[in-house]
Amino acid sequence: MIPITSVQFGADTEELVLGVLRSGHIAQGPMVARFESEFAELLGVEHAVAVSNGTVSLLAALQAAGVGPGSEVITSPFTFVATINAAVHVGATVRFADIEPDTMCLDPSALEPVRNERTAALMPVHIFGQPADMPGLIATAGEDTLMIEDAAQAHGAEVAERAAGTYGIGSFSFYATKNLTTGEGGMVTTNDAAIADTVRLLSNQGMRARYQYEMPGYNLRLTDLQAAVGVSQLAGYDEVLRRRRANAAALTAGLADVEGCICPTVADGRTHVWHQYTIRATGDAPRSRDATVEALHAAGIGAGVYYPKLAWDYDCFSGHPRIVTDPTPIAAEVVGQVISLPVHAALTDAEIDQIITETRKVFGC
């Protein structure tokens, strides 16, 4: 089976990790500081605060921005559950606006029915590695609307020549399957020094200096061992992106004419980092989406379904007093169509050809 994701580490990673082990400084220290400054440089943002995963980075971003009980946030229903978990846990009410069918990101023109005077923040999700239309969202919602960007899948993607995660407060994940990984890890990015400072306090027990507590905090710290992996991943990221982009272009060239299969596209003014290459099987496909995925698996293609249902479409959320299940017809259709094909940097040309050949067969070409 050609896997949907693959992590590979070289001698450079081993050397950095070994250096941390030998230094005896394995908790948070100089390597985390280096990872933060190099990640900030990648994005062109002033502050990057490392945390222990992408879920708590959303949580810390929301809390640092003062989003809590009585606030409403508007997000995409087509996301990983962490986006709504974080908002629910800070006490906010979560509402949903529909997505653009092509990019599958929050649609600025869909905000109006759910926006009101309680709206405290938008939480655009840069799904699959393509940023949401940030200029459009800002123009529609107003310059002073707080943006908490879920950029867990979009390290280094750009919209209007600015990195995803730098328009408002950015939240990134370095989970094992993401474009950049530390095993588990996260980062909050911002140009606002006060927000960065609060996230730093929250992540370390609310502590400014030894035993000087300024707020009730958590322990959200990343470790130097993890950061060493992250620093080496950053060093190779240009090449990873070059390969993901070449793989995506090859898949589209090989699948563009397939009936019943919509290939992913990149909107004008945006760049894509291809965390996932996600096609949509329409009603013209010879099989249902689920049967298509089964046939792909039988043919040795590790296809995935991200995500099989809207994020709120589970009993624990659909009946939740702080989840408002606004209708989002486009997202509701898309969740029944999506299939992600392998696009990762470790794929060989032969594997790309095999993915194209087998996918064409499954679609009856």
Could you list the beta-strand ranges (E) of the chain.
47-51, 72-75, 93-96, 119-123, 146-150, 158-159, 162-163, 169-173, 186-190, 207-209, 212-213, 261-262, 277-281, 338-341
Strand ranges for 101-145 from DSSP E: 119-123
Interacting residue with ligand PLP among 125, 163, 164, 202 (CB under 6 A): 125
d(CA 363, CA 361): 5
User: Toward ligand PLP, which CB reaches closer, 185 or 217?
Assistant: 185
Q: Which range of residues in 76-84, 130-138, 295-303, 353-361 is near ligand PLP by CB under 6 A?
A: 76-84
The span from the CA of 79 to the CA of 182, in Å, is 22
Stretch that binds ligand PLP, among 7-15, 53-61, 129-137, 283-291 (CB under 6 A): 53-61
**Least Å from the CB of residue 354 to ligand PLP:** 27
- CA 20 to chain CA centroid, Å, is 28
Among 28, 55, 189, 233, binds ligand PLP (CB under 6 A): 55
150 contributes a contact to ligand PLP by CB under 6 A = yes
Kindly state the tokens that stand for 127.
């799904």
Distance CA 82, CA 98 (A): 18
3-state SS class at 189: strand
Token pair in block for residue 274: 């291809």
User: How many chain residues interact with ligand PLP (CB under 6 A)?
Assistant: 14
Shortest distance in whole angstroms from residue 70 CB to ligand PLP: 24
If one asks whether residue 83 binds ligand PLP (CB under 6 A), the answer comes out as yes
Sort 169 into a burial class: Cβ within 10 Å, 0-12 / 13-18 / 19+: buried
Contacting ligand PLP within 167-226 (CB under 6 A): 173, 175, 186
Q: What are the C-alpha distances in Å from 217 to residues 51, 64, 142, 197?
A: 13, 11, 31, 12
Return the number of the residue (175 or 363) whose C-beta is nearest ligand PLP.
175
**Nearest-approach distance from CB 83 to ligand PLP, in angstroms:** 5
Interface pattern 6-45 for ligand PLP (x via CB under 6 A): ----------------------------------------
Cβ at position 90, least distance to ligand PLP in Å? 15
Q: Closer to ligand PLP at the Cβ: 52 or 93?
A: 52
Cα dist from 353 to 6, 57, 101, 299, whole Å: 18, 38, 27, 13
Q: Which amino acid is at 79?
A: T
- We find the least distance from the C-beta atom of residue 149 to ligand PLP, in angstroms, to be 10
Min CB(173)–ligand PLP separation in Å: 3
Judged by CB under 6 A, the stretch of 33-41, 77-85, 193-201, 307-315 that binds ligand PLP is 77-85
Interface positions with ligand PLP (CB under 6 A): 53-55, 79-80, 82-83, 125, 150, 152-153, 173, 175, 186
